A and B are shown apart, each in its own frame.
Chain A
Amino acid sequence: MNLSEAANFLKNYNGRELRLMEVCGTHTAGIVQNGIPSMLSDRIHLITGPGCPVCVTVTDYIDRLINLAKDPANIIVTFGDLMRVPGSAGSLTQAKASGADIRYVYSPAEILKLAKEDPGHTYIFAAVGFETTAPVYAALLSGALEEKIENIKLLTSLKTMPQAIRRVSDGIDGFLAPGHVAVITGTEEYRQLASELEVPFVVSGFKGEELIASIYALTRLAEREGKAGFINLYPQAVKEKGNEAAKAATESFFEKGDAAWRGMGIIPDSGLYIRSEYKKYDAGSHDLAGDSEPEGCRCREVITGKLPSCDCPLFGTVCTPEHPVGACMVSQEGACFNSAKTTKNY
């Protein structure tokens, strides 16, 4: 099957109505970037699930970060789009404008350097992410340990995917398995999930052709109702056992615990926390469960796939990429941001 045959099939698909979900921020962005929604029959609905790490982070976490930022002894370090995400009272951008020292970095290695050169401050890194980024944070901790750098702490909001997928699987006819996560964790978890939930899973790459091939495969599996099925269409990067070294690094610094997800509440064992033996590196990441959404924002339903972004009454009027109301509009991996980018005359 070549690209144009697959594309043809998807455009003319006339079988049962399908709701297919992607749960990886890079897939969300890739789908939009390649104009894939325009290539599908209107019987195939692509739904964005909880794959954006910033979007699923609860406001308690942002609030704690802002509180830490208020202490002049602390310097907050972050990457990604956390800066503009609203907490219950303001965002990091606002905290920065009123004098807090908050910095962007492009790689965690920069933090080691910053901290080493400035022992008078504590560098608090906003460690948000999934299984994908956990090994990176583990490497940072291992660097700090090795170089005996004491003035680094992590405020973690680290989550693991499979439990969240179970929570949102109602009414979903097939999943694109989280690509980057599967590179680390391997295919096994998703093969099991497929048979447990009785829906098909396809592991996909990120390029346009790879996404089309995967959506084609998923559609073929999903058109037969109630059948599971699992295909790895990204075998060059995703192995059955994943990346064992990365998994071992994560395990040596992090342990499982319950985690609060926006829109899904507390999901047992779906979080990663710094192990108790290294707790001096933890900036207080446990028990951050409270979540207050901005008024009128329906991110909770959007994240869980229950509401398309454009059905949020604020979408495109009050809430736009220039003036985002909720995290889903702030983050470049967010469902609302990506819908807004592709919506005419919003």
Chain B
Amino acid sequence: MRRDCPLAVLNIMADKINKTHGAGGSATSELIDSIFREAFSNEYLEPLSDSAVLPLPAGKKLAFTTDSYVVRPIFFPGGDIGRLAVCGTVNDLLMSGADPAYITAGYILEEGFDTDDLKKVVASMADTAKEAGVQIVTGDTKVIEPADIKEPGLLINTAGVGFIDEDIDISPARIKPGDAVIVSGNLGDHHAAILGCRMSVKNNIVSDAAPLTQMISGLKDAGLDIHAMRDVTRGGLATILNEFASSAGAHIRIEESSLPVSEEVKGFCGILGLDPLYMGNEGKCVIILPDEEKEKAVEIMRKSPYGQNASVTGSVSCGTPDVTMRTAIGGEKIVSPLYGEGLPRIC
């Protein structure tokens, strides 16, 4: 639109977010119209009413989840906070056996945040939602004082709903001796990418932030009997497997040599004294299913773009409800859950 048109002025967004954008008046509507509405547009969002009114499929259970995203930096190799906000919530729904359907987008913008950056985050969120097969059906924006005046940012909360077939029952309590443990791909990528950014280390590590919709529906379509499944986020694989072992009352043993970890992440962890077993991902999961289904599962997972390094990494047996690992050099050790914050070592 040309500047000389008097009406056009109204549509030109300020290049930084300010208090009026969250005040609920004309600037708020302008922000919503020019940035969010177009990017997210769908039939449920469009009426822009107080709540989205959604159809319920018959004979299904509802899965409902929420999470908040506060990552810094906002843009990182392999993704951004918008992509993360979709992947995290979608993957949480998937892990309970649901087909993700709708998500919400709550944006908390810090005063001074760059409008162009906001557009990028929103566009990335819209793309990721499309890829994940979910619609963003309602949202909210607020503007707050920046926590750090030099670096105003944004926070996003997403809630999501999905639908589960009545007969699906995925829960750690179903884990049985004899089951196999499968990891969907390289561990530690997201964590290492973010840490690398914060430390200004130059390397090729990119975050694995990805929605696992395709991979998980592939497994379900094949009729595999998934006993338990969890996305590998904060706390890492070690923490999840410990939770699994204790809720199943069974022992889990993994093989270090079959744990998928990229050479770059291995190197990075070696320097900092970090352990990929305790590092978070945003596009990986661990699946436990009967031993006789493991090959089939790995084959299906490897066909998905985000599961190319899927591998069987362990097994469940009778025994003390904890986790052990056979190390690459032939040692045995207990794998404890994450304690503390997993910081780099000094010495």
Contacts of A35 in B (CB 8 A): 325-327, 329, 331-333
Contacts of B24 in A (CB 8 A): none
**Chain B interface extent, by class:** 20 to 34
Contacts of B199 in A (CB 8 A): 106-107
Known: A106-B195, A117-B150, A344-B320. A32 touches B333 (CB 8 A): yes
* Cβ of A130 under 8 Å from chain B: yes
Please, what's the 1-or-0 string for A13-30, where 1 marks a CB less than 8 Å from any CB in chain B? 000000000001110010
* Cβ of A36 under 8 Å from chain B: yes
A107 to B201, CA, bound (A): 10
Task: Mark out the residues of chain A between 26 and 74 whose CB falls within 8 Å of any chain B CB in the assembled complex.
Answer: 26, 29, 32-39, 51-54
Residue in B331, B334, B339, B345 whose CB lies within 8 Å of A208:
B331
- Closest approach, in angstroms, between the C-beta of B234 and any C-beta of chain A? 16
* Cβ of A80 under 8 Å from chain B: yes
Whether B345 lies near A33 (C-beta < 8 A) is no
A340 to B338, CA, bound (A): 12
Whether B340 lies near A84 (C-beta < 8 A) is yes
Contacts of A225 in B (CB 8 A): none
- Closest approach, in angstroms, between the C-beta of A202 and any C-beta of chain B? 17
Whether B333 lies near A38 (C-beta < 8 A) is yes
A337 to B105, CA, bound (A): 41
* Cβ of A129 under 8 Å from chain B: yes
Nearest-neighbor residue (CB-CB) of A30 within chain B: B273
A235 to B344, CA, bound (A): 25
* Cβ of B343 under 8 Å from chain A: yes
- Closest approach, in angstroms, between the C-beta of B270 and any C-beta of chain A? 7
Whether B347 lies near A81 (C-beta < 8 A) is no
A107 to B320, CA, bound (A): 41
* Cβ of A343 under 8 Å from chain B: yes
Contacts of B346 in A (CB 8 A): 25, 53-54, 79-80, 128-129, 133, 333
Residue from A37, A132, A342, A345 having most chain B Cβ neighbours under 10 A: A342
Residue in B332, B333, B344 whose CB lies within 8 Å of A80:
B344
A32 to B200, CA, bound (A): 30
* Cβ of A259 under 8 Å from chain B: no
* Cβ of A279 under 8 Å from chain B: no
A340 to B333, CA, bound (A): 12
Nearest-neighbor residue (CB-CB) of A181 within chain B: B347
Whether B327 lies near A34 (C-beta < 8 A) is yes
Whether A79 lies near B339 (C-beta < 8 A) is no
A95 to B331, CA, bound (A): 41
Known: A33-B275, A128-B346, A129-B347. A212 touches B336 (CB 8 A): no
CB<8 Å pairs between A and B, sample of 8: A34-B327, A38-B333, A79-B344, A80-B346, A107-B199, A117-B150, A332-B343, A342-B336
Closest 8 CB pairs of A and B: A35-B331, A321-B339, A35-B333, A25-B347, A208-B329, A80-B346, A35-B327, A106-B199
Mark A residues whose CB is within 8 Å of B. Answer: 3-4, 7, 24-26, 29, 32-39, 51-54, 79-81, 84, 104, 106-107, 109, 117, 128-130, 132-133, 180, 206-209, 212, 321-322, 330, 332-333, 337, 340-345
Q: Besides A35-B327, A337-B339, 4 other CB < 8 A contacts? A: A34-B333, A38-B331, A106-B199, A333-B347
